[in-house]
Structure 1
Amino acid sequence: MPTATNRCPCGTPLPYDECCGRVHSGAVTAPTAEALMRSRYSAFATGNAGYLLHSWHPDTRPGTVNLDPAQRWVRLEIVGTTGGGLLHAEGTVEFRAHYRHSTHTGVLHELSRFTKSGGRWVYLDGVDGDTTRPR
């Protein structure tokens, strides 16, 4: 778990407690689809499965999220966005999430869809960015 003075895992120059930490704690909601994507990446990086479930649309949310303790998320790269702004109801974020596993390194490339539900951004679903297969 990052400390208050450590840079946020999502890649912004802000400390965790001024960036995704505020969203994870519920002090604020993510204002855009990209901000929600960044907060979800940080939740993977910090092992916060509860936040991942909370930020998932109820129609597509799984019953549980199992995080692999041998996998470390090391860098988030935002490739592009559509919609997802303050005045939008839907948006997409294409990203590459780089990770290290105990046996290998890799990249998750996804085009994620986000929507507003109850006035807040939530993750709807994603398509593999390399093959366009639904996840």
Structure 2
Amino acid sequence: MARRTARTSRPARSDQQAVTAASPCPCGLPATYGACCGRFHAGTATAPTAELLMRSRYSAFAVRDEPYLLRTWDPATRPSAAAPDPAMRWTGLEILDATDGSPFHTTGTVTFRARFNQQGERGALHERSRFARHEGAWVYVDGDFLE
């Protein structure tokens, strides 16, 4: 079983200016949005690992890409809508743990903390998410809120 723990990334953008292909990626990896999560959102590539899918889904919330969120949600658990809250500003992502989820696995989990501001209040979403392969691509299945 592959297991990685507590890696830090540079903080994601806290302002809500338009994200362009040349902007830093909201997921916090040291790459531009176009070279990182933007290529997944545009459909020109698929996330090769559960962790990269999780990062791209965080970025989709940050840029409010509802079609991507729905497209990468397991059909068995997918809601009819996943509209990101326009009052929520995602400000940082920390991957705390990842188990399995490599190109050689069929399932994986990613534990993360996503920070946000909502109407002037700071908060954090701490979740252990489950991922699986569906028709060859990683999809989000469900998760457990922690803390």
The TM-score, its normalising length taken from structure 2, stands at 0.87
Does residue 1:87 correspond to 2:104, yes or no?
yes
Structure 2: stretches of 5+ with no match in the other structure? 1-17
Higher relative contact order (CA 8 A, sep 6+): 2
**Moved >6 Å (runs of 4+):** none
Aligned AA (1:95): F
Per-residue deviation, residues 20-54 of structure 1 (Å, max 9, x unmatched): 00000010000000000000000000000110000
Aligned to 2:138: 121
| Equivalent of residue 121 in structure 2, options 104, 110, 133 | 104
Please say if residues 94 and 129 of structure 1, whose CA atoms lie closer than 8 Å, have aligned partners that are also in contact: no
The structural deviation recorded for 1:4 is 1.7
Structure 1: stretches of 5+ with no match in the other structure? 131-135
Does residue 1:64 correspond to 2:84, yes or no?
no
- Equivalenced residue count is 130
Aligned to 1:54: 71
- C-alpha distance in structure 2 between counterparts of 1:52 and 1:4, whole Å: 19
- C-alpha distance in structure 2 between counterparts of 1:8 and 1:103, whole Å: 23
* Percent of aligned pairs with the same amino acid: 52
- Alignment RMSD, CA only? 0.7
Aligned AA (1:12): L
